[in-house]
Structure 1
Amino acid sequence: MQIRPASFLSKLTLMFIIIVIVFQLHVITEQPEKEKRVHRNISIAIIYNRVPKCGSTLMNSLLELVFNESHTFRFIKSTNYVPFRLSATDQLQLRQEIVNYSRQAYSTPIVYERHFHFVDFGFEVNRNLFYINQLRDPIERVLSCYDYTRHRCKTDGPNEPCALSNRSLINITMDACVSTGDPTSCISEQNGVSSAISFFCGQLSICDDTYKPITNYAALALAKSNIERYYLYVGLLEYIESSLELLEFSYPAIFRGISKFYLTYFKDKPFYRTPAESRYPINKETRTILRRLLKLEFELYYFVQKRFIDQYRRTFHRAPRRRDGKVR
């Protein structure tokens, strides 16, 4: 019996499709096992890509106290404070650095801290990695960044690098900046202020706050998505005691005792990086303008606040205690 060409081609096409499907299923099922074999000797890594002026110096002090008492993890403090945005090469180097630290630690978890915008390290590393961070009321954080940058530029002297785009800005208060120029520039990197959204959004171009504040809802949406997918914990400085309580409960093998150290050494003490003479209050009009300009930053803050409160209530069956962190 002679096979008609059309029928033969149909059967051949069907066989080809079946082969492709079988091959794809093989790849899908085998790939995770392959990645597991390659990275089976990587220990758990907690990455603290700290948002500036959200109590990160306080957090580092607490982590050092926990480490010195328990030695249940390896605490790695990066000396690379800038830039926050990383080139593709720098991202690969950071990835390899964390992988190397994890391998050297064998089965001991590592806690790695550094100021940088979120990086997706890839599936095989992400399986062993969790992010943590803290946030703060956006206006208070912006004021802290603004004043601290000027304080550092003054104390470091004229021959040292300054985060301001121009040293002529060094004596301009936030009130003066907002009232005499473009208010948007007052909350940008040229004035020493970074976006919290960028630290969760990542390294894509929509997350770039180098030249102007984040005004892109796509960046905000990506930041929220990354928080849900990758962040074990995002605490709030206004709820610092309850935040630390939740962090300790979430990962007791690493953070056991962190609440105790806060209550013992820091609860009733201010923890300022910027001295009083370099911190300037703002008037009501400036606060109103900043709140409008920081609309997306507040949306992120309230998203994190709701997530934190929900996590805390589910865990402890009570509301978290609100308390100012006294950090600026």
Structure 2
Amino acid sequence: MYKKAFAVVTVFLIFILRRSTLSGYHHNEGRSFHPKNVVQQNATTTKRLNSPAEGTAPKFVASNALHPRVLVYNRVPKCGSSTMIGTLLELSKLNGFTHLHSSNYNNIWMNRTMLEYMTTGWLEVSKSMRFSFDRHLLFFEVQRFKEGEVAWMNLIREPVERFVSKYYYTQQYQGTTKVRSLEDCLGDADRSQCLPDNINIVLSQITYFCGREPLCMVFGDKWGLQKAKANVEAFFSVVGILEDLPTTFQVLQNVLPDFFTNYEFTFHGTGRIVENRRSEKFRQPISNATKMFLKDYLREEIEFYEYIKRRLYVQAKMITSAADDAY
């Protein structure tokens, strides 16, 4: 049985890591800075320390996927994915599931044929094991599975902080010996030079939740914002925030117990962050004026972040209330 499962996982991984590189979404270069101008390890040997009860659904769980066979983490860049992936890898050993990691970091948009291949692979693997899967990937509605067999989760970050972090992260990989400060770059008349190509995918956390529709690719679009919120409510069991990992993991443990039970026994479950310090030496502080400018520029992103934060804290409050009622 294990040999067969291993063979299926191997074939699936080869597909994910090789075939999926054939498809990607590409934007034209040279856009204006303002958003209105943008056209827009198999773990089978370790016993669980605390086994979640099967078939029980706490009242605070809106999703039907309490015990999913597949957990999809469509990770957003520069939002603590190293921390979350490390946690999932540790928990796979404690809780007896498998974590599949995709090293494809560039092609987040996949055509329907590629999505069909990928979900077919998920279905085959899920027949022999419960697993989690991570990749930079736009949300899409999963077909072929029964209701409750697939759950989505994610982790996002305060938008201004993420913007600054992403800028210096990009700067360090441009091959220059001297990194230009964000403050100076934003002072230019042509502020588009402060942004890498593919403006909306790099900047927008909303895009990862909105999905594949054309308006999801328009940075700052109001419809895209509302669509992202609707998808979160309908399909995402938990979306955490990097600024509050303890609450994020508390909710994950209660809403997705098959995957996140025992998180307190992991290094990452303590709330510590695996920081990418490679760009920190280049980073410079920004002025209040620049911060206010970015808050206005990222206003839809900030609205989405605040919505996610409220939703997370409502989930946490309901978990605490349910625990109090049990006593």
Q: 2:97 aligns with which of 73, 89, 93?
A: 73
TM-score (norm 1): 0.70
Partner Cα separation in structure 2 for residue 44 and residue 273 of structure 1: 35
Aligned to 1:180, what secondary structure does the other structure show? coil
Aligned to 1:227, what secondary structure does the other structure show? helix
Q: How does 1:179-328 map to 2 (within 5 A)?
A: 179-183=187-191, 186-187=194-195, 189-190=197-198, 193-208=202-217, 214-262=219-267, 267=272, 271-317=275-321
What letter is aligned with 2:158?
D
Partner Cα separation in structure 2 for residue 310 and residue 99 of structure 1: 32
Query: What are the Cα deviations for residues 216-239 of structure 1, in whole angstroms up to 9, with x where unaligned?
Result: 111001100000000010001111
Query: What are the Cα deviations for residues 265-313 of structure 1, in whole angstroms up to 9, with x where unaligned?
Result: 763x762343431223222221111100001001100110110111111
What letter is aligned with 2:221?
N
Relative to structure 1, is the Cα distance of residues 272 and 218 closer, same or farther in structure 2, using a 3 angstrom cutoff? Answer: same
Q: 1:133 aligns with which of 144, 154, 163?
A: 154
Q: How does 1:119-158 map to 2 (within 5 A)?
A: 119-122=140-143, 124=145, 127-154=148-175
Query: Which structure has greater helix proportion?
Result: 1
Relative to structure 1, is the Cα distance of residues 189 and 130 closer, same or farther in structure 2, using a 3 angstrom cutoff? Answer: farther
Partner of 1:173: 181
The 8 Å contact of residues 130 and 231 in structure 1, kept in 2 or not, is answered as yes
The answer for unaligned runs of 5 or more in structure 1 is 1-42, 155-166, 319-328
Relative to structure 1, is the Cα distance of residues 240 and 232 closer, same or farther in structure 2, using a 3 angstrom cutoff? Answer: same
Deviation for aligned residue 1:190: 4.8
Query: What are the Cα deviations for residues 147-183 of structure 1, in whole angstroms up to 9, with x where unaligned?
Result: 11222343xxxxxxxxxxxx89x83332122110444
Deviation for aligned residue 1:264: 7.1
Q: How many residues align?
A: 255
Partner of 1:14: none
Partner Cα separation in structure 1 for residue 223 and residue 147 of structure 2: 23
Partner Cα separation in structure 2 for residue 73 and residue 316 of structure 1: 27
The 8 Å contact of residues 245 and 259 in structure 1, kept in 2 or not, is answered as no
The 8 Å contact of residues 201 and 223 in structure 1, kept in 2 or not, is answered as yes
**Worse overlay, 258-267 or 302-311:** 258-267
Deviation for aligned residue 1:74: 1.1
Identical aligned residues as a percent: 25
Partner of 1:82: 106
Partner Cα separation in structure 2 for residue 197 and residue 182 of structure 1: 25
Tell me: higher relative CO, structure 1 or 2? Use CA pairs within 8 A at least 6 residues apart: 2
Structure (1 or 2) with the larger CA radius of gyration? 1
Quote the RMSD (CA, aligned, Å): 2.7
Query: What are the Cα deviations for residues 54-100 of structure 1, in whole angstroms up to 9, with x where unaligned?
Result: 11111111111112333x21100012111122223332233223223
Relative to structure 1, is the Cα distance of residues 101 and 123 closer, same or farther in structure 2, using a 3 angstrom cutoff? Answer: closer
Relative to structure 1, is the Cα distance of residues 181 and 68 closer, same or farther in structure 2, using a 3 angstrom cutoff? Answer: farther
The 8 Å contact of residues 123 and 144 in structure 2, kept in 1 or not, is answered as no
What letter is aligned with 1:52?
P
